[in-house]
Structure 1
Amino acid sequence: MELLKEKIREVGVVVSDEVIKLDAILNHAVDPVLTTEMGREFARRYREQRVTKVLTIESSGIPIAFAAAQELGVPMVFARRKKTLNTDTETYCERVPSFTKGFVTDIMVGKEFLSENDRVVLIDDFIANGDAARGLIRIIRRSGAELLGLGIAVEKSFQAGGRTIRESGVRVESLVRISSLAGGRIEFE
């Protein structure tokens, strides 16, 4: 997706050979025009699959997943990272490490929001090692829902996440793939 590549070149900050900050468009601020276009593109790629739900994880995946769900005309559900006083007691829960946050967290989806009748697309902002995505895939499978595939805004293809999930037989659609951040330079596939 050329628009996303342009924005990454414009605002991306390479922190290390493994980390890029995209706070200005994905992780702290949201570019509404770009986000809407990303949602349209994911909807275009999955429209024929008869999606019934879009699933993501809080928090940076929410705007893109919302845009895709709106375009598809289906509900969006997000996995919570923290229990609150009013968190459902009946949840699917998985423990997952976060590459960028550097710690392990529980992710939860209320059982009332996923069922065996659902056809789910998982949308997220980044994939690096794929741990969060694998946790959500386990939740989807435990619910009995059908996983149609993943939609990832930015795949760091030099890390194993996207590749290993594809190798497990899951469809992964990435809008852009970054092949290297070495030497502070952003290289796309």
Structure 2
Amino acid sequence: MQLLKDRIRKDGIIKQGNVLKVDSFLNHQMDIELFQEIGKEFKKRFAGEEINKILTIEASGIGIACVVAQEFGVPVLFAKKSKTKNISGEVYTSKVESFTHGRIYDIIVSKDFLGEGDKVLLIDDFLANGKALEGLAALVEESGAELVGAGVVIEKGFQIGGKLIRDRGIHLESLAIVDDMDWRSGKIVFRGEE
């Protein structure tokens, strides 16, 4: 998705430790016009798939998932990182290690909102080590729902996550795959580029 790649090059900031900051338009401040184009692109890439629910993880995936869900005309469900008083009843849980935060979370989804008969598309902003998508996939599997695929806005192609998800047989669509980035020069190389 060239529009997204251009925006990453223009406004993305590379930090030491393989961190790509895109918080000015993707996961802190959100460019809704860009999100609408992202939603349309995911709709194209998963055209013909039967999807009745979008699942993401809090917090930075929620905005993107909402716009994607609007394209599909389905609800969004997000896995919470802690159980709150307003989640009553039984839940599905999975453990997720966050690359960005460097910690392990228990993620939780109420059994009221996910189960047999659901056809689920996972949506997230980043794919690095694959742990968030693996955790979400585990929730879908535990619930008896069908995992249709996973859509990621930015994949770090030089990290293991994309390979892990694809090796599991999950239909993964990444809108921009970063194969190399250098914090000193600010240079970003996307898949398919020299």
User: When the two structures are superposed, what TM-score results if normalisation uses the length of structure 1?
Assistant: 0.97
Question: 1:17 touches 1:181 (CA, 8 Å); kept in 2?
Answer: no
- 3-state SS, counterpart of residue 45 of structure 2: helix
Corresponding residue for residue 189 of structure 2: 187
The alignment partner of 1:10 has SS state of helix
Q: CA deviation at 1:79?
A: 0.6
Deviations 1:69-114 (A, max 9, x none): 1111111111111222212331101111100011111111111111
Once the two structures are TM-superposed, the CA of residue 187 in structure 1 deviates from its matched residue by: 1.1
Q: Which residue identity is paired with 2:177?
A: R
Deviates more, 1:179-188 or 1:31-40: 179-188
Structure 1 counterpart of 2:59? 59
Letter in 2 for 1:168: R
Counterparts of 2:61 and 2:158, CA distance in 1: 21
Deviation at 1:17, TM superposition (A): 4.9
* Conserved 8 A contact 1:16-1:181: no
Q: What code does the residue aligned with 1:10 have?
A: K
> 1:107 aligns to what?
107
RMSD between aligned residues: 1.0
Question: Deviation of residue 164 (structure 1)?
Answer: 1.2
What amino acid does structure 2 have at the position aligned with 1:103? R
**Aligned: 1:95 with 2:95:** yes
**Map of 2:130 onto structure 1:** 130
Q: Which runs of 5+ in 2 are unaligned?
A: none
Written as runs of structure 1 = structure 2, the 5 A alignment for 1:156-167 is 156-167=156-167
1:84 match:
84
Aligned residue pairs: how many? 189
| Distance apart, 1:137 and its partner CA | 0.3
Match of 1:155 in 2: 155
Map Cα deviations across residues 161-187 of structure 1 (whole Å, 9 max, x no partner).
011110111110000000011343211
Aligned partner of 1:137: which letter? A
Distance in 2, matches of 1:127 and 1:6, equals 19
Between the aligned partners of 2:121 and 2:110, the Cα distance in structure 1 is 17
Bigger proportion of residues as helix: 1
Q: Is 1:10 matched with 2:13?
A: no
Deviation per CA, 1:109-158: give whole Å up to 9, x if none: 11111111011100000000000110000000011111011000000000
User: What code does the residue aligned with 1:69 have?
Assistant: A
Deviations 1:27-54 (A, max 9, x none): 2100010011101111121131110101
Quote the sequence identity (%). 48
Work out whether residues 17 and 180 of structure 1, in 8 Å CA contact, stay in contact via their aligned partners in 2: no
